[in-house]
């Protein structure tokens, strides 16, 4: 069964496509926006912007270190640079440049990492950004955003461009279920409750939001009422929604397409540990690199499924 089918969702566009569309649309009314690309614009989808605004686009070649620091200089001279590459190459290859040329001086650079997660499939682990959220979240002052579908990605792109400060936007390669079919009221740092529930809370972002909705259907069939929260911003995290969930339900399961360490699960657990201890379960890639293969097969093999969320939630309640 396809992701989202159980909860009645239809397949929509990939988040990278929605970002590319929104960027090209918004570029006209935002003259300070420029794109800096390390020759992957047709993958990250900055290409439509660059075709529309060639004088505001720079393909500086396959050189991520230079890519990020050039963007720092552009921002220091008043531009709003959008820097897009694969999540792993941007975050892992240019991390010190992000630290020193963007985060430490607090410059208005928009970092965009596409091809995040294991759902990129056949290209394999070298291309999979599965540690990027952890790396981004350690940077003081950088907003870290992981949208779930095309509509929320478009809204997140607009929010990112109007936000004054450095941001990291995480995008995926495959088509994903459309969740926000009636538009998305998106605000950086404010989560969105998609379904109310009183027994357990499922907190997810990215591709895992649709799976959490599916899991909530499964749980409902078992007589368990599950709240579902789209925690699209990992930093700054929406503490209030987490604390409320910890107090109003009996457990929280966090699902993300990321390594176990340092991602959404860690961010949520830090909040509950400090303010409202509660039973927690975690659905993620674990502590391993993945492998090449078809996306659905990979998600299944590495435990990123609605069933995994359902099992974790039911397990919490039976403890």
Asked if residue 188 has a cis previous peptide bond (ω within 30° of 0), the answer is no
What's the DSSP call for residue 9? Answer: P
SS3 121: coil
CB of 92 to other proteins, least distance (A): 15
Helix (H) or strand (E) holding 251: strand 251-255
CA distance 293 to 297: 7
Which lies closer to other proteins via its Cβ, residue 38 or residue 120? 38
Least distance (Å) between residue 53 CB and other proteins:
10
Cα-based angle 117, 79, 94 (whole degrees, multiple of 5): 35
Taking the complex as a whole, the smallest distance from the CB of residue 87 to other proteins amounts, in Å, to 20
Toward other proteins, which CB reaches closer, 63 or 276?
63
Q: Which of 21, 25, 55, 64 is catalytic?
A: 64
> Closer to other proteins at the Cβ: 24 or 176?
24
- Shortest separation between residue 28's beta carbon and other proteins, angstroms: 16
Instruction: Tell me how far, at minimum, the Cβ of 184 lies from other proteins, in Å.
Output: 32
Concatenating the DSSP letter of every residue in 28-91 gives: TT-TTEEEEESS-HHHHT-HHHHHH-GGGEEE--S-HHHHHHHHHHHHHTT-EEEEEEEHHIII
| CA gap 319, 309 in Å, rounded | 16
Known active-site residue 64: yes
Q: Residue numbers of the site for other proteins (CB under 8 A)?
A: 34, 55-56, 58, 60-61, 63, 65-66, 68-79, 81, 96-97, 99-101, 104-106
SS3 category, 229 = strand
Query: Measured from the CB atom, is 75 or 118 closer to other proteins?
Result: 75
| Residue whose pair of structure tokens reads 């360490």 in the numeric block | 261
Q: Report the residue number, 130 or 142, with the smaller CB distance to other proteins.
A: 142
The catalytic site residues sit at 64
């Amino acid at each position: 069964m396809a992701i989202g089918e159980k909860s009645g969702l239809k397949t929509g566009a990939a988040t990278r496509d929605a970002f590319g569309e929104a960027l090209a649309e918004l570029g006209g009314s935002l003259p300070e926006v420029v794109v800096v690309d390390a020759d992957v614009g047709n993958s990250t989808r900055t290409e439509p912007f660059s075709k529309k605004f060639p004088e505001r686009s720079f393909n500086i070649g396959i050189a991520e270190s230079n890519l990020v620091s050039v963007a720092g200089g552009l921002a220091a001279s008043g531009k709003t640079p959008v820097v897009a590459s694969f999540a792993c190459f941007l975050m892992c290859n240019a991390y010190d440049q992000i630290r020193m040329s963007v985060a430490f001086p607090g410059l208005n650079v928009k970092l965009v990492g596409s091809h995040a997660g294991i759902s990129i499939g056949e290209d394999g682990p070298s291309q999979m950004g599965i540690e990027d959220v952890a790396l981004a979240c350690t940077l003081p002052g950088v907003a870290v955003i992981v949208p779930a579908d095309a509509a929320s990605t478009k809204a997140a792109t607009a929010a990112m461009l109007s936000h004054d400060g450095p941001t990291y936007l995480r995008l995926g390669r495959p088509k994903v279920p459309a969740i926000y079919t009636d538009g998305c009221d998106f605000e950086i740092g404010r989560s969105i409750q998609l379904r109310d529930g009183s027994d357990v809370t499922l907190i997810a972002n990215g591709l895992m939001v649709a799976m959490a909705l599916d899991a909530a259907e499964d749980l409902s069939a078992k007589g368990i009422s599950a709240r579902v929260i789209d925690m699209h911003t990992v930093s700054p995290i929406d503490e209030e929604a987490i604390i409320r969930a910890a107090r109003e339900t009996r457990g929280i399961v966090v699902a993300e397409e990321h390594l176990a360490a340092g991602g959404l699960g860690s961010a949520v657990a830090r909040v509950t540990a400090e303010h409202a201890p509660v039973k927690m379960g975690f659905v993620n890639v674990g502590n391993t690199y993945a492998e090449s293969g078809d996306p659905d097969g990979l998600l299944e093999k590495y435990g990123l499924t609605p069933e995994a969320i359902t099992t974790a939630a039911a397990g919490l309640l039976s403890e």
